[in-house]
């Protein structure tokens, strides 16, 4: 198959392009040609005519992983950038796909579409489209409203997969690197009490799940998270004990003052989800538990 990857230069894009290129032809799309060229033989930029390139390369699937890092301070300007970097590329791709209804669009999304809750109840995000708010969750936050708008962009394309990703853990980057930055000085920082639900998934599983989605042409919403729902506290404690680090807790009240809405949505509240569809499809997780991820990481 010929597969186009938008956002090929990112954490997930880099790994999935390497893996897919063993069996498929991978075409990369990004903002800077030179950067994209490092990840594939056929590189495109957003200035190319996407319609012409889809025809020229006979593309069967598009993986859209575009989006500015949400880990930057949420000022009005950065929230605008975070939103536009997802909504605008997805709108552009979806509008071109009106002419190519059979192309499989695999679009990144996040578990934030379900909203957030402070303390886990027995409710969790179910794979429905559009996303429904589980009982007791708050769906008025930035991640939820933006995530739903993002998913809405491709709702008219019949062959869309909405990959509702949990935070992706990999030894070399993403959230894991951020959480462990201060381990070099023997410390880990926990923001808030960390009791809210904190689903996660390993990058290796994300790569295998995307391959499964392509092979089995799975469309519709799909929760991409491990079967185990952790809390931020249990994640920090597991890493800290493996790395022999002390943990320092920044009290919730201080997190609220320091990072406001961002801290509230990313650290003080969370979203519980389960990978129901993946388990029904018979997917076997490489890292079903966080302990297994950590033990295979060192």
Ligand X SMILES: NC(=O)c1ccc[n+]([C@@H]2O[C@H](COP(=O)([O-])OP(=O)(O)OC[C@H]3O[C@@H](n4cnc5c(N)ncnc54)[C@H](OP(=O)(O)O)[C@@H]3O)[C@@H](O)[C@H]2O)c1
Q: Minimum distance from CB of 208 to ligand X (Å)?
A: 16
Q: What angle do CA 77, 80, 85 make, to 5 degrees?
A: 125
Using the minimum distance from each CB to ligand X, give the nearer residue, 81 or 217. 81
Helix (H) or strand (E) holding 224: strand 220-224
Q: Minimum distance from CB of 124 to ligand X (Å)?
A: 16
Using the minimum distance from each CB to ligand X, give the nearer residue, 167 or 263. 167
Q: Minimum distance from CB of 21 to ligand X (Å)?
A: 16
Using the minimum distance from each CB to ligand X, give the nearer residue, 120 or 175. 175
State the DSSP code for 245. -
Using the minimum distance from each CB to ligand X, give the nearer residue, 31 or 281. 31
Judged by phi (left if over 0) then psi (alpha if -120 to 50, else beta), residue 84 lies in: alpha
Which residue, judged by CB position, is nearest to ligand X in the bound state? Answer: 10
Q: Minimum distance from CB of 70 to ligand X (Å)?
A: 6
Using the minimum distance from each CB to ligand X, give the nearer residue, 69 or 248. 69
Q: What angle do CA 145, 151, 155 make, to 5 degrees?
A: 130
Q: Minimum distance from CB of 132 to ligand X (Å)?
A: 19
Contact 20, 26 (CB under 8 A): yes
The residues of the shown chain that bind ligand X, judged by CB under 6 A, are: 7, 9-13, 30-31, 35, 65-69, 85-86, 89, 108, 110, 165, 167-168, 174-175
Output b/e per residue, 135-164; b: 16+ Cβ within 10 A: eebebebbbbebbbebbebbeebebbbbbb
């Amino acid at each position: 198959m010929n597969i186009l990857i938008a956002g090929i230069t990112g954490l997930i894009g880099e790994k999935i392009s390497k893996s897919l290129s063993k069996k498929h032809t991978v075409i990369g799309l990004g903002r800077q040609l030179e950067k994209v060229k490092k990840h594939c033989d056929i590189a495109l930029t957003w200035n190319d005519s996407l319609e012409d390139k889809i025809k020229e390369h006979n593309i069967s699937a598009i993986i859209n992983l575009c989006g500015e890092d949400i880990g930057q301070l949420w000022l009005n300007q950065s929230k605008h950038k975070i939103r536009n970097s997802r909504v605008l590329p997805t709108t552009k791709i979806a509008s071109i796909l009106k002419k190519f209804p059979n192309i499989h669009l695999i679009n990144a999304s996040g578990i934030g579409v379900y909203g957030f809750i402070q303390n886990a109840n027995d409710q969790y995000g179910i794979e429905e489209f559009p996303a429904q708010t589980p009982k007791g969750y708050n769906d008025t936050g930035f991640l939820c409203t933006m995530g739903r708008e993002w998913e809405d962009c491709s709702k008219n394309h019949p062959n869309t997969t909405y990959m509702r990703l949990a935070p992706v853990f990999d030894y070399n980057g993403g959230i894991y690197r951020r959480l462990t930055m201060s381990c070099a000085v023997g410390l880990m920082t926990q923001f808030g009490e960390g009791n809210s639900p904190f689903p996660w998934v390993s990058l290796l599983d994300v790569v295998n799940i995307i391959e499964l989605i392509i092979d089995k042409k799975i469309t519709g919403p799909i929760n991409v998270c491990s079967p185990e729902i952790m809390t931020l506290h249990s994640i920090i404690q597991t890493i800290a004990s493996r790395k022999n680090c002390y943990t320092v807790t920044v009290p919730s009240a201080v997190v609220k003052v320091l990072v406001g809405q961002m801290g509230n949505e990313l650290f003080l509240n969370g979203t519980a989800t389960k990978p129901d569809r993946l388990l029904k499809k018979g997917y076997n997780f490489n890292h079903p538990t966080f302990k297994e991820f950590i033990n295979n990481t060192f």
